[in-house]
Amino acid sequence: MSKATNSTEFRTVDVDAYDEDNYEDDAREANSGSQEVTERAGEVKKLLNLTKNTDALKLALQNPPIGHQDASVKEQNYETVLSVLKAFRTPEIEAAVGDLSDGDVDVLMKYLYKGFSCSPDKAAALLLWHEKVVKRGGVGCVIRVMVDRKGI
């Protein structure tokens, strides 16, 4: 038996890169908006200090950097949202979710799922949010997380 047979290196080859017919997503959005994310983080912090949690949540979910090329920008906005979510006490969650617009609910759900994958240690707290968001937005907003290709 040849030595090459034992090689498993071929498994790491990205075969899709060699497929001419492979579907490519549309060009990603421009590399701007990082400043906006930083500014928003500051304002959200201010609102949290004033214990205006619901306002902070609404602001944190505005205009997320969807499909941004720089992962650190997405990460920063995710941290902002997460800091808001942590500020809420359990009984306040339902009212806060009820106050959000339909679009905000979709965005919030995307951040919850990002939370499940990025920080599984916080999943218990996020599941409390998840329950209320499903109650508000139905399974539709879960589906929209599943089909989202750009990433938040």
Partner 1 sequence: MPQQKPQSAQQLFYEPISGHAFNADLTQIVVSNSTPHTHVMKRGADGKYTEGHVLEQHLERVTSVDWAPTSNRIVTCAGDRNAYVWNFEQESGTWIPCLVLLRINRAATTVRWSPAEDRFAVGSGARLLSVCYFDPENNWWVSKHIKKPIRSTILSVDWHPSNHLIAVGSCDFKCRVFSAALKEMSDKPQTSLWMPKLSKFGTLLAEFDSNNGWVHGVKFSPSGNLLAWVAHDSSVNLVNSNSLEKVHTVLTSNLPYMCLLWLSEGSFVTAGHNMSPDLYYASEDGVTFGAKLDVKKEKAASGNMSAMARFQKLDVQGKAETEGTTLETTHANCITEIRAMESANNKVTKFSTSGKDGKVVIWDTESICSAIAGLKI
Q: Give me the residues that bind partner 1 (CB under 8 A), please.
A: 21, 23-24, 102, 106, 137-141, 143-144, 147-150
Q: Which is nearer to partner 1, 42 or 138 (by Cβ)?
A: 138
Tell me the closest approach of the beta carbon of residue 148 to partner 1, in angstroms. 5
Contact call for residues 44 and 60 (beta carbons, < 8 A): yes
Amino acid at 40: R
Tell me the closest approach of the beta carbon of residue 145 to partner 1, in angstroms. 10
Q: Which is nearer to partner 1, 39 or 102 (by Cβ)?
A: 102
Tell me the closest approach of the beta carbon of residue 136 to partner 1, in angstroms. 9
Q: Which is nearer to partner 1, 87 or 134 (by Cβ)?
A: 134
Amino acid at 146: M
Q: How far apart are the first and last CA of the chain?
A: 48
Which class for 43: exposed (0-12), middle (13-18), buried (19 or more C-beta within 10 A)?
A: middle
Q: Which is nearer to partner 1, 50 or 143 (by Cβ)?
A: 143
Tell me the closest approach of the beta carbon of residue 81 to partner 1, in angstroms. 20
Angle separating helix axes 102-118 and 123-137, nearest 10 degrees: 150
